[in-house]
A and B are shown apart, each in its own frame.
Chain A
């Protein structure tokens, strides 16, 4: 892995972050005719949803940030410096809470749910996919194919709705919504931890079921094309044990393209997970986004979107920099 590659990848990351922030800056300005944020504030005054003292401060902060009296490039620079300090302004719906704080509280929930679910789905899916392609695997595995296929096609949150109805509403095995018992304050106790776990099972299950099918099918296709390679035939001719060929030669080589697919689909997985959170009222960024959109809390929307884009870009960067370490073939290529 050359230094040039690392530099290029890191540069790409910053380009993406910059592009995202610039986009978020310019879009509201290009909204035909009016400025949605100002409109929103005006609407809040009209409906009396905010005390006028706070409103004055908000308008001032708004003026300062989007300093409509200052030239555009100066507004842009101020904006950029604010963003780099993670200052997204105040949440319109939860004033006087700052956007950053709202996101900060929600983020751990999302990251927790997402990483656990993705890892389980990836591991399970990859193994299942490999087995599905291996002729010596037990026949029973093949019966998993149709349901996996069906699940992989359905958007996660729709799956979540169905699961919520069946397992929570009808059968009352799991809680309907929320990430923890309503009204209980978070603490580092075992009871709380278990409670969180209990509430996370359904959302996680929705994600896992949908993702497993996707990974399994991908892995299966990969294994099929690899099993046609000459080195597999050679390994078999050498008399290596079937399990050894399967794990050491087959799975290991298919793992790299799988990881590449992982890197490319991070954005999609995150989007899906956010929608699942909405269905289950899970206190992660998905719920924040939902409330922000319904309340037209633009500052929060932009803040959440920024974190999503940067988060995915960062995770992709990490993956891009680690899998050359996994696969020597990549390491020695110039590109």
Chain B
């Protein structure tokens, strides 16, 4: 059976993953079309008269600073996605590093990592992020914000990856590997990681979603990049300029729609991957 047919079969049996990717695919398509036709040059202030309702000329209207809002959305989508991928990716990387170390090597190192994660988990991330972000607010580019979010995103992946590692590290094939001359690193990357790939993939998707969520939370307070029209900042400016009280739905509406679609897609994929890794959930339908 060729790889393509294998992939199609997999997708057919996992409607959630398929739906998620379908949504993402459509958004990508729209973005490509948008970039090709309209571009993002008008996403900056003074690109048009302020506070205009959507019309034939300005498809999504303009905001109080004169930005045209359709280009803003087109520019904002990849920015927000970038924050998510960076924050989720770095958070997962740190989490995997710590989780594998703790789970595989055990001992005092494990106790240290586990306690650190357990102590920090219940702390409301937004609170700490607000303190950090407000202190360095002038340095807040998209990348810096993503890294700030990542600094508090590692605890949950650390715990879950650790428990996964604990459950497979005593398997006989690990001992056989040791007797075939594999070093600890060989075991971790060669024997354990391949078996945990679906789990790591699900964790990644979850981390990206959580990253975007945290970033939006920060941006809702205005603690985001001041010059880039990320989706979260766009909503912030809308609130700041009272667009909610003025009923300017075209300003804060589209970013919300894009965000909802994004979350639904990510959540769908994460659930689908979860179901794939944990067959017991399949019964729930």
User: A residues bordering B, Cβ < 8 Å?
Assistant: 12, 15-16, 19-20, 23-24, 27-28, 31-32, 36, 133, 150, 153-155, 157-158, 161-162, 164-165, 169-170, 176-177, 220-221, 224-225, 228, 263-264, 266-268, 270-272, 274-275, 278-279, 289-290, 293-294, 296, 298, 301-302, 305, 308-309, 312-313, 316
A313 to B128, CA, bound (A): 13
Is A309 touching B123 in the complex (CB atoms < 8 A)?
Answer: yes
B166 beta carbon closer than 8 Å to chain A: no
A301 to B19, CA, bound (A): 41
5 closest Cβ pairs, A-B complex: A267-B124, A271-B126, A308-B127, A153-B263, A305-B127
Is A267 touching B125 in the complex (CB atoms < 8 A)?
Answer: yes
Is A24 touching B244 in the complex (CB atoms < 8 A)?
Answer: no
A36 with B135, Cβ < 8 A, contacts A154-B263, A228-B283, A308-B127 known: yes
Is A221 touching B122 in the complex (CB atoms < 8 A)?
Answer: no
What is the CB-to-nearest-CB distance from B114 to chain A, in angstroms, rounded to a whole number?
A: 13
User: B residues bordering A, Cβ < 8 Å?
Assistant: 119, 121-128, 130-132, 134-137, 139, 213, 216-217, 220-223, 235, 239-240, 244-245, 247, 249, 252-253, 256, 259-260, 263-264, 267, 280-281, 283-284
7 pairs from A and B in contact (CB 8 Å cutoff): A153-B260, A158-B235, A169-B244, A221-B284, A263-B122, A267-B124, A278-B239
A297 to B252, CA, bound (A): 27
Is B131 touching A305 in the complex (CB atoms < 8 A)?
Answer: yes
A247 to B280, CA, bound (A): 23
Measured CB to CB, the nearest residue on chain B to A225 is B280
A153 with B122, Cβ < 8 A, contacts A27-B132, A164-B244 known: no
A157 with B220, Cβ < 8 A, contacts A263-B122, A279-B244 known: yes
What is the CB-to-nearest-CB distance from A248 to chain B, in angstroms, rounded to a whole number?
A: 22
Is B252 touching A289 in the complex (CB atoms < 8 A)?
Answer: no
Is B130 touching A301 in the complex (CB atoms < 8 A)?
Answer: yes
Is B213 touching A155 in the complex (CB atoms < 8 A)?
Answer: yes
The DSSP consensus for interface residues of chain B is helix
What is the CB-to-nearest-CB distance from B271 to chain A, in angstroms, rounded to a whole number?
A: 9
Residues of A within 8 A of B217 (CB): 155, 271-272, 275
What is the CB-to-nearest-CB distance from A161 to chain B, in angstroms, rounded to a whole number?
A: 6
Is B216 touching A316 in the complex (CB atoms < 8 A)?
Answer: no
Other-chain residue from B122, B213, B244, B280 in contact with A161 (beta carbon distance below 8 A): B244
Measured CB to CB, the nearest residue on chain B to A164 is B244
Residues of A within 8 A of B119 (CB): 12, 15-16, 19
A23 to B135, CA, bound (A): 12
A271 to B210, CA, bound (A): 13
Most chain-A CB neighbours within 10 Å: which of B121, B213, B220? B220
Measured CB to CB, the nearest residue on chain B to A308 is B127
A36 to B136, CA, bound (A): 8
A28 to B131, CA, bound (A): 9
A271 to B122, CA, bound (A): 12
What is the CB-to-nearest-CB distance from B205 to chain A, in angstroms, rounded to a whole number?
A: 13
What is the CB-to-nearest-CB distance from A146 to chain B, in angstroms, rounded to a whole number?
A: 11
What is the CB-to-nearest-CB distance from A8 to chain B, in angstroms, rounded to a whole number?
A: 11
Residues of A within 8 A of B281 (CB): 221, 224
What is the CB-to-nearest-CB distance from A56 to chain B, in angstroms, rounded to a whole number?
A: 25
What is the CB-to-nearest-CB distance from A104 to chain B, in angstroms, rounded to a whole number?
A: 18
Residues of B within 8 A of A271 (CB): 124-127, 217
A153 to B210, CA, bound (A): 11
What is the CB-to-nearest-CB distance from A268 to chain B, in angstroms, rounded to a whole number?
A: 7
Residues of A within 8 A of B247 (CB): 165, 169-170
Other-chain residue from B134, B216, B252 in contact with A298 (beta carbon distance below 8 A): B134
Residues of B within 8 A of A279 (CB): 239, 244
A150 with B235, Cβ < 8 A, contacts A155-B213, A312-B123 known: no
What is the CB-to-nearest-CB distance from B92 to chain A, in angstroms, rounded to a whole number?
A: 19
What is the CB-to-nearest-CB distance from B9 to chain A, in angstroms, rounded to a whole number?
A: 26
Is A165 touching B244 in the complex (CB atoms < 8 A)?
Answer: yes
What is the CB-to-nearest-CB distance from B279 to chain A, in angstroms, rounded to a whole number?
A: 12
Other-chain residue from A36, A264, A293, A309 in contact with B222 (beta carbon distance below 8 A): A293
Is A275 touching B220 in the complex (CB atoms < 8 A)?
Answer: yes
Is A161 touching B284 in the complex (CB atoms < 8 A)?
Answer: no
Measured CB to CB, the nearest residue on chain B to A15 is B119
Residues of A within 8 A of B259 (CB): 154-155, 158
A158 with B123, Cβ < 8 A, contacts A28-B135, A150-B264, A298-B134 known: no
Measured CB to CB, the nearest residue on chain B to A276 is B220
Additional pairs, 8, CB under 8 Å, beyond known A12-B119, A31-B136:
A27-B135, A158-B260, A161-B235, A169-B247, A176-B244, A266-B124, A305-B130, A309-B123
A27 with B131, Cβ < 8 A, contacts A161-B252, A169-B247 known: yes
Is A177 touching B135 in the complex (CB atoms < 8 A)?
Answer: no
Measured CB to CB, the nearest residue on chain B to A165 is B249
A293 with B221, Cβ < 8 A, contacts A16-B123, A20-B123, A27-B135 known: yes
